[in-house]
Chains A and B, each alone.
Chain A
Amino acid sequence: MKSTIPVIIAFLSGLAMVAAFILSPGKFGDVGGELLRWVSIIAGFTLLLGVISIVRVNIRPVMRREKGWYNKLALLLAVAATGIPAVLPVSWSPMLGTGDNSIYDWLFNNMNAPMMSTMFAMLAFYIASAAFRAFRARNTEATMLLVTAVIVMLWRVPMGESLFASIHPDLPQGINNYVMGGINIAVQRRIIIGSAMEAATMGLRIMLGIERTYMGGSSK
């Protein structure tokens, strides 16, 4: 019973969405739209669930002074400092809520954004180091990858574009057509079609109750 009811709900919800998509709205009412509003509301609660989960996971190591507890404390303080002022009503103070010039906004613009940008920018250094140490033409496949990477890297910047154009005026467009619009598309389509089929299969498995890991247990 504990797992049957969720499976029935999943089946009916899935069926309603498929029917709403296939049938015209007049024949089926706005069941699809109504379900989507439910999904949107439930999804809001999942964010709350995420906050509860992160607090539960991290508070115990802090209380027990486990290894690296101060990192977890910093995380909890960050969650509290960002979350609490953001959910309190703006009517109490203009610094509350998530609007312009709020505490949340200030923390995002002056702490979160610079930290995220810094982490992302550091990739350039690691990529340069990895390119020097690991990108080797050891065999035919690796050589093809390396040559293509070099061509695309040059083509994507004005300096390289000018270099190619000096060899032949149509060469930059030729690279666009044959590498990005040819080889690349063939590979990408295979991935997109494969993942779409996988998503459809997974949807069907959930609807039919074969896939039950979303309920916290293992698949049947």
Chain B
Amino acid sequence: MSIWEKIGNVDRRWIYLAVALTVIFPVIFPLKLPMNVTPEARQLYDAIEALPDSCVVMLTFDYYASATAETRPVSIAALHHLFRKNIKVVTMTTIPLGGPSMASEVTRLMAKEYGKTYGVDYVNLGYKANYTAVLLGMGTSIEGIYPTDQYGTHLAELPLMQRVKNYEDISFIFIVADNGIVDNWISIVNAQFNKPMGAGVTAVMAPKFYSYLQANQMIGLLGGMKGAAEYEMLVNKPSMAVSGMNSQSLVHLLIIGFVVLGNVAFFAARRRKGTSE
């Protein structure tokens, strides 16, 4: 067996070990890599920045716990921006498993930091089944879809919801998602109610939504942890996503290295085999 054949047949546990070490190393020894902000992240930031004081933004928590590494930093950075600008926030989720818990945990954390009051500065609507009916129905009446908030309080009892009846009263929709729900937000809420919106999505979903961005159906887009890191930089609150980019940079390089090495080994072994025949 030649050296290339040996490389080609390497035990996958060595590959797993290399990945683990590449992830852990920059966590212990941060690399402090320079980072540029893409125009689509800048556009989203500028759109929020241009909103008037005390207007209402709907922030969605449309992601499962599995994708929190990429999406939670976006939610936190968005709330930094919104609360700092004194914008009122209404959250909701189309994810039954954990969506309301994550919305509650993140908003409570950020509200404490900025001294915001529940019911006055922000409201968590929680989850309701059948997202198509929910997204469409909120155009007519939010209370019709959500008679109570996440904690069972009637919306009429919450000061903020007394002036937020439907999409007419919402200035911007900030979607944070790990799935194709963004399509529905665009096709239902943007197309039918003409609501401006932007999204922070997982890296694997981001390419799909560039077409909405180019068609101006979406104002800005944050793709994956890189997008989250860009927004953290823009709101001047570098945190988990910025530090996570160190590991992601090295792992991407490692995988590219594996692709190159795998191909070199493959072609070298095939060439050797052809020569020997």
Tell me if B258 and A33 are in contact (CB < 8 A).
Answer: no
Tell me if A108 and B145 are in contact (CB < 8 A).
Answer: no
Which chain A positions have C-beta within 8 A of B130?
Answer: 39-40, 42-43, 46
Verify if B96 is at the interface (C-beta below 8 Å from A): yes
Contact check: which of B211, B253, B261 meets A189 at CB < 8 Å?
B211
Verify if A63 is at the interface (C-beta below 8 Å from B): no
Binds A, one of B49-57, B168-176, B243-251: B243-251
Q: Which DSSP category, helix, strand, loop or mixed, fits chain A's interface? A: helix
Given contacts A36-B145, A44-B129, contact A127 B214 (CB under 8 A): no
How many residues of chain B have a CB within 8 Å of chain A?
A: 71
Q: How far is the CA of A189 from the CA of B213 in the complex (A)?
A: 12
Tell me the smallest distance from the CB of B152 to a CB of chain A, in Å: 7
List A28-42 residues whose CB lies under 8 Å from chain B: 30, 32-33, 36-37, 39-40, 42
Binds A, one of B60-68, B75-83, B85-93, B155-163: B60-68
Q: How far is the CA of A169 from the CA of B108 in the complex (A)?
A: 42
Residue in A closest to B70 when the chains form the complex, CB atoms? A120
Residue in A closest to B100 when the chains form the complex, CB atoms? A98
Tell me if A136 and B262 are in contact (CB < 8 A).
Answer: yes
Binds B, one of A68-76, A156-164, A205-213: A156-164
Of B69, B98, B108, the most chain A CB neighbours within 10 A belong to B98
Q: What are the 9 tightest A-B residue pairs by CB atom distance, in nearest-first order? A: A43-B130, A43-B129, A113-B65, A33-B140, A120-B66, A36-B137, A39-B133, A116-B66, A158-B33
Tell me the smallest distance from the CB of B269 to a CB of chain A, in Å: 11
Which chain A positions have C-beta within 8 A of B258?
Answer: 128, 131-132
Tell me if B245 and A158 are in contact (CB < 8 A).
Answer: yes
Q: How far is the CA of A172 from the CA of B214 in the complex (A)?
A: 18
Tell me if A112 and B263 are in contact (CB < 8 A).
Answer: no
Given contacts A40-B129, A124-B19, A124-B23, contact A157 B252 (CB under 8 A): yes
Q: How far is the CA of A140 from the CA of B105 in the complex (A)?
A: 49
Given contacts A40-B133, A132-B261, A192-B183, contact A125 B19 (CB under 8 A): yes
Verify if B144 is at the interface (C-beta below 8 Å from A): yes
Verify if A59 is at the interface (C-beta below 8 Å from B): no
Per-residue CB proximity of A178-197 to B under 8 Å, as 1/0? 00110011001101100010
Tell me the smallest distance from the CB of A95 to a CB of chain B, in Å: 15
Tell me if A128 and B19 are in contact (CB < 8 A).
Answer: yes
Interface residues of A (CB under 8 A from B): 21, 25, 30, 32-33, 36-37, 39-40, 42-44, 46-47, 90, 97-100, 104-105, 108-109, 112-113, 116-117, 119-121, 124-125, 127-129, 131-133, 135-137, 146, 149-150, 153-154, 156-162, 165, 172-173, 176, 180-181, 184-185, 188-189, 191-192, 196
Which chain A positions have C-beta within 8 A of B33?
Answer: 158-159, 162
Given contacts A157-B248, A181-B210, contact A46 B129 (CB under 8 A): yes
Tell me if B256 and A184 are in contact (CB < 8 A).
Answer: no
Per-residue CB proximity of B132-164 to A under 8 Å, as 1/0? 111011001100110000111000000000000
List B191-212 residues whose CB lies under 8 Å from chain A: 192, 203, 207-208, 210-211
Tell me if A37 and B64 are in contact (CB < 8 A).
Answer: no
Q: How far is the CA of A172 from the CA of B248 in the complex (A)?
A: 18
Tell me the smallest distance from the CB of A177 to a CB of chain B, in Å: 10
Q: How far is the CA of A181 from the CA of B214 in the complex (A)?
A: 8
Tell me if B211 and A192 are in contact (CB < 8 A).
Answer: yes
Tell me if B253 and A159 are in contact (CB < 8 A).
Answer: yes
Which chain B positions have C-beta within 8 A of A129?
Answer: 12, 15-16
Q: How far is the CA of A140 from the CA of B16 in the complex (A)?
A: 30
